Chains A and B, each alone.
Chain A
């Protein structure tokens, strides 16, 4: 229960690899999304990986729209999307909506969640939410140098076992741990490693409600990504999700993930 294997579409594990889709700005084999709380050094990670100079600064809400860059790892070409910093994917703000829509409909081959290692507990909330949508997650525990200075040690292997996804301590500013991060991104995106996220265990009542909703959603929108998650949002009374379902927006977004990538 609570595992994506139970949902008939298998979420983004079945996402088609958008091999060699020609795009303005470059050719790539896989798409990687960069998510995370505001002010965790997400843009620094982005700049390190892409060699770009996206403006970084010490205030939240800085990455207003989506930035894109490219990098190569082990002869594989990657497109990296820097999503706006958010605490949640529950869509109260435009930023959260951009992040959620991309992770859900863009079906990235890997989603890196950048966390602040000095207040890791706070970031784990978003990690869990993203793990509900996709299996292909890598946790980047950034600012590990600052955490160490504050006498905080991170047991990455233990956290990895708890979460079921790779956890990589990094200091993007100093370039520490970044090779390790690249390696994990490569393994997850290419499918060489398939993380098995541990998901929240829900009440039987909620599970049975999800079980009723999922087939109906799939009947309405056969290509719907992660219907289990959409069902959970509907049950939680997410008005925007309900509206998106009624208006056909959800169906439109679900049509062609590759096209969506171009449009967003």
Chain B
């Protein structure tokens, strides 16, 4: 099933399918290891729900909702 990264629940893991972003943000996400096929797990979100914390390749990263929305994943 395909959904957006922002739709992942805490503890749920998906795999990166596609980045619907361009330019420097896209490059940044790729540099952090979010290439297609990469496992990404939602760890938690801040009290107001934004940003959201994910685990990627053993590292924790925080993404804004609006950016996580542009990352397509499969679960």
Contact = CB atoms under 8 A, between A and B. Distances in A.
Given A121-B33, A122-B33, A125-B33, A88 B27 contact: yes
Interface string A77-117: 00000000001101010000000000000000000000000
A193 interface: no
Q: Classify the secondary structure of A's interface with B.
A: helix
Contacts of A122: 32-33, 56-59
A119 interface: yes
25 contacts: A87-B31, A87-B32, A88-B27, A88-B31, A90-B27, A90-B31, A92-B24, A92-B27, A92-B28, A118-B58, A119-B57, A119-B58, A119-B59, A120-B58, A121-B33, A121-B57, A121-B58, A122-B32, A122-B33, A122-B56, A122-B57, A122-B58, A122-B59, A125-B31, A125-B33
Chain B interface size, under 10 / 10 to 19 / 20 to 34 / 35 or more = 10 to 19
Contacts of A87: 31-32
Interface in A222-257: none
Nearest to B31: A88
State the main secondary structure of chain B at its contact with A: mixed
A125 B29 CA distance: 12
A145 B6 CA distance: 36
Contacts of B28: 92
Interface residues of A, number: 10
Contacts, number: 25
* For the complex of A and B, 7 pairs with smallest distance between CB atoms: A88-B31, A119-B58, A121-B57, A87-B31, A122-B57, A119-B59, A92-B24
Contacts of A121: 33, 57-58
A121 B38 CA distance: 11
Interface of A: 87-88, 90, 92, 118-122, 125
A90 B58 CA distance: 22
A28 to B, nearest CB: 32
B25 to A, nearest CB: 9
A85 to B, nearest CB: 13
A162 B55 CA distance: 25
Nearest to A236: B27
Interface string B18-49: 00000010011001110000000000000000
Given A118-B58, A122-B32, A122-B58, 6 more contacts: A87-B31, A90-B31, A92-B24, A92-B27, A120-B58, A122-B56
A87 B33 CA distance: 10
Contacts of B56: 122
B43 to A, nearest CB: 15
Nearest to B38: A121
A88 B28 CA distance: 8
Nearest to B58: A119
B57 to A, nearest CB: 4
Contacts of A120: 58
Nearest to A150: B58
